[in-house]
Amino acid sequence: MPAIPTAALAAGTLVMAFAVAQLSDVRALGGALLVAGVAWCVWRSVRAAGWLRVAAVVLVGAVCFVGAHLLSPVLGPWPAVLLAALVLGVVAWVLTDTRS
């Protein structure tokens, strides 16, 4: 297993991409960081976890991204992103970082 779990990188990527988009006021910059983070997580975990598990994590990440946008009016932007990152991190941990 790598020194930093993929789950932490996936969740951190979601949070950092949002922070960059918020602080820079350039959503495309946050989006570019998000795409780069997804690519990095896929590249580092596909050999150990397999394409199917990694694809499932990417799909859950996309759902979390959309979910954060939908929950933002209710919870506020930061709580929504942190909740989405938590869900993504747990799913990524289970699917890519743990071995049965």
- The domain spans of the chain are 6-95
> Helical H runs in the chain?
6-24, 27-49, 51-75, 77-92
Q: What is the mean pLDDT of residues 46-51?
A: 90
pLDDT band at residue 3, thresholds of 50, 70 and 90?
confident
Distance, CA of 80 to CA of 59 (rounded, Å): 18
Q: Give the per-residue pLDDT at 37.
A: 95
Q: Give the per-residue pLDDT at 98.
A: 86
pLDDT of residue 66 exceeding 90, the answer is yes
Q: Quote the pTM value.
A: 0.91
Distance, CA of 51 to CA of 95 (rounded, Å): 11
pLDDT of residue 100 exceeding 60, the answer is no
Computed over every residue of the chain, the mean pLDDT equals 94
Q: Give the per-residue pLDDT at 2.
A: 54
